[in-house]
Amino acid sequence: MDHHRSLGTIYVFIIISIISMNNILCTTSCPTFYNTTCPKALKTIRNTIRNAVSRERRMAALLIRLHFHDCFVQGCDASILLNDRTPNERTTLSNSGVGGYEVIDAAKAAVEEICPGVVSCADILAVAARDASVAVGGPSWKLRLGRRDSTTANPSEADRDLPRGDQDLQSLIRNFDDKGLNEREMVALSGSHTIGQARCVTFRDRLYSNTTSIDAGFGSTRRRNCPPNRGDGDTNLAPLDLVTPNSFDNNYFRNLVRRRGLLTSDQVLFDGGSSDSIVLEYVNNPSKFESDFAAAMVKMGNIELLTGNNGEIRTVCSAAN
């Protein structure tokens, strides 16, 4: 009898130890971070994103870009969302044209209703990007959760570190390398331009620079809605992928091979340089592109995370507590 009780005590101790160890491993960041504190959080965010994308397909691209622009400035800390101070990251030149803020606000409000003060805005941004990809036929990925929010923004870093549409290949490689992302990951992440649109001001120079790296018919078509003079039609939009602009696929890379990249920073990925082979690989193997994109999004989403006692959990994403 005593022997059985001892065994029972040992089994209980082992089970408690396993549960405790799982909790210890998940105090910083892991996919199950909110399983006990806010079990409906991910479903709630997913429903908000699905509804937003169903209303406006372009929103998927905006949300992925919003997460990207957040992570490249002092890490994935939701600093881009802060709007309660001047200057802020939102109003920098590098973030002009960035959108989707209202969708993140809606997701945050919905989560706050079911579990106030638990889910960070930084995590909502990461989850929203993943769910936006899925909503337009793109890949999903397993996220590490448990990010905390910054209390400050960094507008000078935004203008210094965020990639630009006029960059050449080597500067792009250095830009991404500074954030711990290699050339393949840079090309894969650029593939997010398979969805979304860009403003005339970001690709005008490519259209009128007399370069041989642009398909003549493509250039002629794009010039119709993008006049040559700065200030004239700057906000006119054109799809980054002229074939399937609302579906996540590998047509972006097919366009590059045909010299139909919209931005200079798109076309330099296939212009006789070191990334040509990666582009061709993604043209011929779309599943490889999707798997590489998902892996790169996970890696990007882990840049300089605030966890534990660092940062805060904002109750409103646009303002520090």
Tokens representing 317 are 């994403």
Catalytic option among 3, 67, 69, 193 = 69
DSSP string for residues in 259-296: T--SSHHHHGGGSSSTTHHHHHHHHH-HHHHHHHHHHH
Give backbone dihedrals phi and psi of 316, rounded to 5 degrees, phi first. -130, 130
Residue 176 is inside which H or E element, if any? Answer: helix 169-177
Say if residues 117 and 313 touch (Cβ distance below 8 Å). Answer: yes
Tokens 């337009």 map to which residue?
Answer: 136
Give the whole-angstrom CA distance, residue 278 versus residue 86.
41
Q: Whole-angstrom Cα distance, residue 194 to residue 247?
A: 7
The residue behind tokens 């870093």 is 157
DSSP state of 77: S
4 is catalytic: no
Contact residues for 219 (Cβ-Cβ < 8 A; gap 6+) = 207
Question: Helix/strand/coil (H, E, C) string of 215-265?
Answer: CHHHHHHHHCCCCCCCCCCCCCEEECCCCCCCCCCCHHHHHHHCCCCCCHH
- Residues classed as catalytic: 69
